[in-house]
Amino acid sequence: MSVTSGQSYLVGLIIGEQDYSADLVDVTIVSSLASYYPVITLKFNTDPDNVILNNKLYGQEYITLIIVLQGWDGEGLIPEYQTLMFELMHLNDNLDLPIKTMIMKDNDNERVPTPRTVEITTICRKPFKTISTLVNDVQTNIPIDVLIKGIISENTTAILEMDEEGINAFPLDQVCIPPSTVGNMFKYLDSTFGIYNGVSSIFCNHTNTLQVFNLTNRMKKDVVFTIHQLASDGDNEKLTSKGLNPKVFYTMAEVKTDYKANSKFSVYARTLKYVVKPKDTLSYTIVNDLKGIAKDYGLIDFTHPTSDPEFFLDEIITDKRMHYYTDQTGNDYSPVFINANHSKPLSNLFTLKIGLARSMFLTNLLRIGEPVKFDTEIVDYRRFTGKYILTSSVLTFTKENYDWSAGCFVTLARTNKSILN
């Protein structure tokens, strides 16, 4: 594959030993905290005979996708470029088969090819293998971080990137992980004991780096990039003329918002009472306030120095409700599992969905679970500025004639709607 001056991207596709780069027309890369690994959809135009007869692409072949951000963005040279490589596994495909003769004749060798669109859904091979690896362990009196590090290093080849801040500091008196996958192990540990005193996320990226993040703490860290919304009547050229910055994206696209505090608080109730079973007494009741959990352990970005964030609730409906939980034994008197279980559904009470376009530094857009800043030149929307967690990104690459163009649709989430009350 060669780099052509003037293009923003170079996209290549190899299936088995065959190069399908010339036939590839569309690539979609979906990274989301709702999944453990990226999902990639490929579309290319080729003759059905290439798929069925010549190459027998039935799902058994290795698939390699290469994306290069080249040294040209349409306006000037970029000092450096990025190359991303994805080793993929076939999940499913679809192909329309045209009507033709029952048996190929000799003169059919001269026939004109009839390209059809083939769509293949794939996932990254190594992350899938990591998340689906079977694990089983029994331990006593062990910190949860030591347990996780040991299991991952002994059973997988993944690089573990694990936040240490805010991790559950209560040693696990007894823990039995039944035979299950790595993904289910994390679900079990978080729901039973709580991995962090706050919102956790588990994601294995295309480099097979298993990211175990404390999103509550990540909200306090430096942002990985900023999305700057421009105004239709502003001096936008003054902002965009500062030069290419891989950590700043500009957009004039519409921003879609979603806020669902009343529905979440109604489902889980305002007052939570957990009846647990410590080892030195028959039972113990831990009482918690859902609004307090949201404020202390949610994804909060709030600038007022003397007050707490407002969740804009219908207090008449939500204030008096109470819920008893008796199905979890807990871990002695530790409330960490409560904070972990209830802060997670409160982490995305408010979401922003924003479209981005033009040449983009790709790796930042794949950093799911990292803090991102939203800023705007529109005064009416200033209350929605501030930090969010990048919960999903949908990167699309489309071939137009011989050039590739790219776009991205990101979803940002936090617990509080406004930085102002």
| DSSP assignment string, 170-182 | S-EEEEEEEEEEH
pLDDT, greater one: 99 or 140? 140
- Picking from 322, 332, 309, 320, the residue whose alpha carbon sits closest to that of residue 421 is 309
pLDDT in tens, 111-127: 566 777 888 899 999 99
CA 340 to chain centre: 19
Structural domain boundaries enclosing 81: 9-95+113-125
In the predicted structure, residue 6 carries a pLDDT above the cut 60: no
In the predicted structure, residue 72 carries a pLDDT above the cut 60: no
Return the CA Rg of the chain: 25
Same domain? 360 vs 250: yes
Same domain? 248 vs 365: yes
pLDDT in tens, 177-191: 999 999 999 999 999
pLDDT of residue 240: 60
Local confidence band at 41 (pLDDT 50, 70, 90 cut-offs): very high
User: What three-state secondary structure class fits 30?
Assistant: strand
Same domain? 393 vs 246: yes
User: What three-state secondary structure class fits 352?
Assistant: strand
pLDDT of residue 79: 45
CA dihedral 133, 138, 141, 144 (to 10 degrees): 10
Structural domains of the chain, count: 2
Local confidence band at 55 (pLDDT 50, 70, 90 cut-offs): low
Tell me the whole-structure pTM to 2 decimals. 0.90
Q: In whole numbers, what is the pLDDT of the chain averaged over residues?
A: 87
Residue 166 counted as domain residue: no
CA distance 399 to 389: 31
Local confidence band at 291 (pLDDT 50, 70, 90 cut-offs): very high
Residue 207 counted as domain residue: no
Same domain? 235 vs 364: yes
Residue 73 counted as domain residue: yes
Residue 39 counted as domain residue: yes
Residue 323 counted as domain residue: no
Kindly give, in sequence order, each residue whose CB lies less than 8 Å from that of residue 155, ignoring residues fewer than 6 positions away.
133, 134, 135, 182
Structure tokens at 101: 């003769």
pLDDT of residue 239: 62
Stretch 284-293: mean pLDDT: 93
pLDDT of residue 146: 97
CA distance 13 to 24: 7
In the predicted structure, residue 235 carries a pLDDT above the cut 90: no
In the predicted structure, residue 163 carries a pLDDT above the cut 90: yes
User: What three-state secondary structure class fits 66?
Assistant: strand
Residue with tokens 């989430």: 413
Range in 3-17, 129-143, 264-278, 321-335 the model is least confident about: 3-17
Residue 295 counted as domain residue: no
Structure tokens at 69: 């951000």
CA 355 to chain centre: 16
Residue 32 counted as domain residue: yes
Local confidence band at 109 (pLDDT 50, 70, 90 cut-offs): low
Rounded to the nearest 5 percent, the helix, strand and coil shares of the chain are 20, 40, 40
- Highest average pLDDT, of 49-53, 66-70, 96-100, comes from 66-70
Q: Which amino acid is at 77?
A: L
Residue 159 counted as domain residue: no
pLDDT in tens, 352-373: 999 987 657 788 999 999 999 9
pLDDT of residue 77: 47
Local confidence band at 140 (pLDDT 50, 70, 90 cut-offs): very high
CA distance 172 to 336: 12
- Highest average pLDDT, of 144-153, 227-236, 272-281, 312-321, comes from 144-153
- Helix 182-192 crosses helix 336-343 at what angle (to 10 degrees)? 120
Kindly give, in sequence order, each residue whose CB lies less than 8 Å from that of residue 58, ignoring residues fewer than 6 positions away.
none
Assess contact for 363 and 84: CB atoms under 8 A. yes
Kindly give, in sequence order, each residue whose CB lies less than 8 Å from that of residue 191, ignoring residues fewer than 6 positions away.
328, 337, 340, 341
Local confidence band at 232 (pLDDT 50, 70, 90 cut-offs): confident
Assess contact for 138 and 190: CB atoms under 8 A. no
Domain C-terminal end among 85, 103, 125:
125
CA distance 70 to 2: 11
CATH number, domain of 255, equals 2.30.300.10
CB atoms near residue 303 (< 10 Å): 10
